[in-house]
Amino acid sequence: MHLSRLICSAFLLVVLPAAYSPAGAGAAIGVAMDDFSYTDTSAEPANQTAAHERRLSAFMAALRRDIGADGRYRLAPSAQDGAAFKVIGGIQKTSTLVQWAKVAVIDVGAKRLVMDKLYTFRGDNDESWERAEIFVSREVMAALSTPAPVALAVFDFELEDTTAASAGASAASDASYLAEVTGSVREALGQSGRYRIVDISGEAVKTRTLRDCGGCEAAIAQKLGADQSLIGVVRRVSRTEYTLGFQVRDARTGAVLARGDSGLRMGADYSWKRGAVRLVSDRLIESQAKP
């Protein structure tokens, strides 16, 4: 659809400032907003270009006024001028009484869409455009107030084996199960919407045991541009029993923000993944969601 292509193209053209940083506590958050595009595919005989330009201009003025009137936000000329969010959109008239509005809000720092919606509104007069603007304004404000996801570096889970029995084929099997644990935990955290998973593939950490490095993972995470770090450990008690633990640190200060431990001996290695996802969901995702 025409409007979908418009949003996608505009999103790709957003250029980040060289030194972007979120607005500080108490500071108004910068919001940049381009004029929406307008396309008339209704094939009506009358030329309504002038009326549509006037109504679109009034629509954009009202939308900017609504956002600027909220003390939490300030209008910024562009993403390069300190805007934390960018609002883009387009309106398409498809018939005499039906119009579509495609609106997106981009989190500039996270390079992520926090809103991408398609609306329909009936009518093509001043009153119908005003109603549409009021509704779109509420939707945009709701999207702007949604907390940005935390940039989280999830390092590969490590195995602490007290049985001293991992060798040969067993070691290869352990590595496979650990990879499943790490991948599944990253997926669960990313899908929660509370976290943006930072790529750690370029960081050489496999030669180190992060669980015994005194919090060095926080500094590594900060170098990668993450807000927080997470390390996890699978502790094998016997060939058929294990426990799980994880720890989250603030990447800047190294302070421990959260930790979890299964505290119970659970089943064999093939259930590591299930146990790890359950632990992280219960002790991190769900607990952070509680007021």
Which is more confidently placed, 126 or 25? 126
Q: How many CB atoms lie within 10 A of CB 21?
A: 9
Question: In the prediction, which pLDDT does 31 show?
Answer: 95
pTM: 0.57
Question: In the prediction, which pLDDT does 7 show?
Answer: 47
User: In the numeric block, which tokens belong to residue 50?
Assistant: 């002038």
Question: In the prediction, which pLDDT does 184 show?
Answer: 94
Longest dimension (CA), the chain: 83
Residue 234: pLDDT over 60: yes
The amino acid present at 144, given as its one-letter code, is L
**Band of the pLDDT at 20, cuts 50, 70, 90?**
very low
Question: In the prediction, which pLDDT does 17 show?
Answer: 37
Question: In the prediction, which pLDDT does 264 show?
Answer: 62
Residue 283: pLDDT over 50: yes
Query: What one-character-per-residue DSSP string does the chain give?
Result: -HHHHHHHHHHHT----TT--PPPTTSPEEEEEPPPEEEE-S--SS--HHHHHHHHHHHHHHHHHHHHHSTTEEEESSGGGT-SEEEEEEEEE-SSSEEEEEEEEEETTTTEEEEEEEEEEE--SHHHHHHHHHHHHHHHHHHHTSPPPEEEEEPPPEEEESS----THHHHHHHHHHHHHHHHHHHHHHHTSSEEEPP-TTS--TTS-GGGSSSHHHHHHHHTT-SEEEEEEEEEEETTEEEEEEEEEETTT--EEEEEE--S-B--GGGHHHHHHHHHIIIIIHHHH--
Nearest to 101 by CA among 77, 132, 61, 75: 132
Rounded CA-CA distance 53/43 in Å is 17
**Band of the pLDDT at 266, cuts 50, 70, 90?**
low
Residue 130: pLDDT over 80: yes
**Band of the pLDDT at 147, cuts 50, 70, 90?**
confident
Q: Return mean pLDDT, the chain.
A: 84
Which is more confidently placed, 38 or 77? 38
The pLDDT > 70 percentage for the chain reads: 82
Question: In the prediction, which pLDDT does 202 show?
Answer: 67
Question: In the prediction, which pLDDT does 167 show?
Answer: 53
Kindly report, residue by residue over 181-210, the tens digit of the pLDDT.
999 999 999 888 888 899 888 665 555 688
User: Looking at the chain, how many residues does it have?
Assistant: 291
Residue 98: φ, ψ to 5°: -125, 130
Kindly report, residue by residue over 79-88, the tens digit of the pLDDT.
778 888 999 9
Mean pLDDT of 79-104: 92
